[in-house]
Amino acid sequence: MWILFAFGSAFFAGITAILAKCGIRKTDSNVAAAIRTVVVLLFSWLMVFLAGSQAQISAIDRRTWLFLVLSGLATGASWLCYFRALQLGDINKVVPIDKSSVILTILFAFLFLGEKVSLAKTAGIVLLAMGTFLMIEKKNGDMGKQAEGSSWLFYAVGSAVFASLTSILGKVGISGVESNLGTAIRTVVVLCMAWLMVFVTGKKSAVKEISKRELGFICLSGVATGASWLCYYRALQGGLASVVVPVDKLSIVVTVAFSYFVLKERLSKKAVMGLFFIVAGTFIMLIP
């Protein structure tokens, strides 16, 4: 059953990226991330009360609290980097780098969780790395303009690194707590971190300047994120992190498809080949 939750997470995560991109055309990325977190928080705690798991809060031990908080901090950092990267670059370039976090996750799962790395997973990692490289196209032109226009890459890489840490810390943190409750607790941490960034960067006045259209997309992105999280952590609770994470990364297919039809972002033959390698590598990782 957990594999179905993993695919559900991939679908909703794919939609999230498109909705987020539509919501940050003029809105500051930190402000958008903070507002989206409010929606996710409401969504996640609603699921806690529907599942009746709120009574388990008092039973959570200190070690679980620690890893839930650390996972929340990593998630917040990943979100802030991801939103900034989406605002500066094309989805078809940002998302592949973000999804490459699976490579680090498998490595961390091997080092810290003792999960084995099979020959199939090794082959999958190679294909993922090749696919990501092919999808990051370099544009010809002035070197100065290239450097300025590639600042999204720094944030995209940061998003991937923090996302991989989120997966490992989340896996440890939810081992002794119901998945919906664990997600809701982590979201509180993310909310505090996101709004702290808004105030630190002096962007609180920008909240009132958001258009209704972009606010709508940001809120819808939050709903999709909440659904993706709930599926993702339910899958992590029942399955291996080294399998759940690759399936979740298939959201790139959903994202690329929507970006092509909705945002009119085109893929070159090189990028299409890269996408094929990423998908092929992901499926190979599912081989026992």
| Stretch (H or E) spanning 142 | none
CB 118 within 8 A of CB 287: yes
pLDDT in tens, 10-58: 899 889 889 988 998 889 999 999 999 999 999 889 888 887 888 889 8
Q: How confident is the model at residue 138 (pLDDT cuts 50, 70, 90)?
A: low
Total Cβ atoms within 10 A of residue 111: 11
Which residues lie closer than 8 Å to 84 by C-beta, 6 or more apart? 29, 30, 152, 155
Give dist(CA 78, CA 64) in Å, integer. 21
Give dist(CA 135, CA 270) in Å, integer. 7
Residue with tokens 């020959």: 119
pLDDT in tens, 78-118: 989 999 998 888 888 888 888 788 788 888 888 877 888 88
Q: How confident is the model at residue 143 (pLDDT cuts 50, 70, 90)?
A: very low
CA angle 167, 169, 173 (to 5 degrees): 115
CA distances from 19 to 45, 133, 246, 262 (A): 22, 25, 22, 10
CA-based nearest residue to 259, from 98, 95, 88, 133: 95
Token pair in block for residue 132: 């990501």
CA-based nearest residue to 31, from 182, 204, 200, 149: 204
Give dist(CA 138, CA 128) in Å, integer. 19
pTM, rounded to two decimals:
0.78
Give dist(CA 21, CA 24) in Å, integer. 6
Above 90 in pLDDT, residue 141?
A: no
CA-based nearest residue to 81, from 176, 163, 201: 163
Q: Is 178 exposed, middle or buried (0-12, 13-18, 19+ CB in 10 A)?
A: buried
pLDDT reported for residue 146: 46
